[in-house]
Amino acid sequence: MSGRRRREGVSVGHDAFLDIVANLVGILIILVVVLGAQSEAILREAKPKTVQPVDPKARIAGQVEMETLATVAARAASAQADSMRLERTIKLLDSKIAQQAERRTILLTLLTEAEAAWEDEQAKLDDARRDAALRNAEAEALKSELTELVGARAQLETEQPPVVAISHLPTPMAKTVFGEEVYFRLKNDRLSVIPFKLLTEEIGRNFRRTSGSLREGVSDAAVGPVRGYVARYVLSRSNELVSDGNAIARMSRARVVVASFEPLQEPHGTPIEQVLANDDWLDVELSRYPAETTTVTVAVYPDSYGSFRKLREKIYAKGYASAARPIKDGSPIYVNFAGGGTRSVAQ
């Protein structure tokens, strides 16, 4: 019994000692932790603090400055919005310009193709048009001559001339003129010389100069002025097949179809009263032509028939044969070269 108690007493004393040692160790650990924390705080407080420099001009903004800043900020935001809107508008306009440029290119291409097609069709119609123009020119010349004759006949049939004393002239005998002719024009009671020969020579020279460069078909040209007159004429050029021995050759043929003679301006010529009152004018114009072989042909307009009768007496008195070509009022004097020209009928 006593031995068991002794062992139990020693065991209890040993446990108490261990508890004390453990408590001391824990207290030491806590002290170390506390001292470490306090040392760190003391070091932070002991470190010198960096002093920020103070701007003497810096001050706290007031209410007015804040409102101004807000206004400027609003304007800046509005300007930025306008700038963005303008950029969008510029991009939209650039897109439209590109579309219009593309459309313009397409339209120009279509226009070029249309012009080419039109030229092709025009070339196809040229031959038929030239032939039609030639036939129309010949028909118009014949129609004009017929109209002049009909008009002159109607004028003569309806005209009631005053009763005048008729001087005795030998009975006229109509005959075709084969000698030289002098051409006068009597219109508005004014007499002028028509330079048929000179203008015809000008037509011949101009025809020889330009006929080689003419294209097939009909064209017109003009020469003059000569003594105040111009001649407008129609040219015809055609390609024909001719027999050259045993071969067939192609020959180009050019000719003058019809020509008209008219003064540059109206009225033109010397008043008939002056011509009849003095023989100088007629003597000068007829001095180069012998009376035996020359016929004076007068192109007479309806307003000058009475003056022509007086002029014919004057011409007859000088020994010249005379002939009249009635011309319709407002019409030039035509010569149809395609039919070989015309010859006056002298009396």
pLDDT tens profile 272-291: 999 888 888 888 888 888 88
What is the mean predicted confidence (pLDDT) over 74-96? Answer: 84
Would you put residue 166 in left (φ > 0), alpha (ψ -120 to 50) or beta?
A: beta
For the entire predicted model, the pTM comes to 0.45
* Angle CA 133–138–143, to nearest 5: 120
- Per-residue pLDDT band for 170 (boundaries 50, 70, 90) equals very low
The residue ranking higher by pLDDT, 246 or 264, is 264
- Per-residue pLDDT band for 178 (boundaries 50, 70, 90) equals low
- Per-residue pLDDT band for 174 (boundaries 50, 70, 90) equals very low
What confidence score (pLDDT) does residue 271 get?
92
The residue ranking higher by pLDDT, 57 or 204, is 204
- Per-residue pLDDT band for 16 (boundaries 50, 70, 90) equals confident
DSSP state of 194: -
Q: What percent of the chain has pLDDT over 70?
A: 73
Please say if the pLDDT value at position 342 is more than 70.
Answer: no
Query: Over the Cα atoms of the chain, what is R_g?
Result: 62
| Tokens read off for 18 | 């261990």
What is the mean predicted confidence (pLDDT) over 317-331? Answer: 87
Pair type for strands 247-263 and 229-244: antiparallel
Residue pair 291/316 in contact by the 8 Å Cβ criterion: no
For residue 1, the one-letter residue type is: M
Residue 71, Cβ density class (10 Å: 0-12 exposed, 13-18 middle, ≥19 buried): exposed
The residue ranking higher by pLDDT, 310 or 10, is 310
Please say if the pLDDT value at position 14 is more than 60.
Answer: no
What confidence score (pLDDT) does residue 300 get?
92
What is the mean predicted confidence (pLDDT) over 88-114? Answer: 89
What is the mean predicted confidence (pLDDT) over 110-138? Answer: 83
Separation CA 222–CA 210 (nearest Å): 12
Pair type for strands 321-326 and 294-300: parallel
What is the mean predicted confidence (pLDDT) over 44-65? Answer: 61
Please say if the pLDDT value at position 128 is more than 70.
Answer: yes
Mean model confidence pLDDT for the chain = 77
Strands (E), the chain: 175-176, 180-187, 190-193, 217-226, 229-244, 247-263, 270-271, 294-300, 321-326, 333-336, 345-346
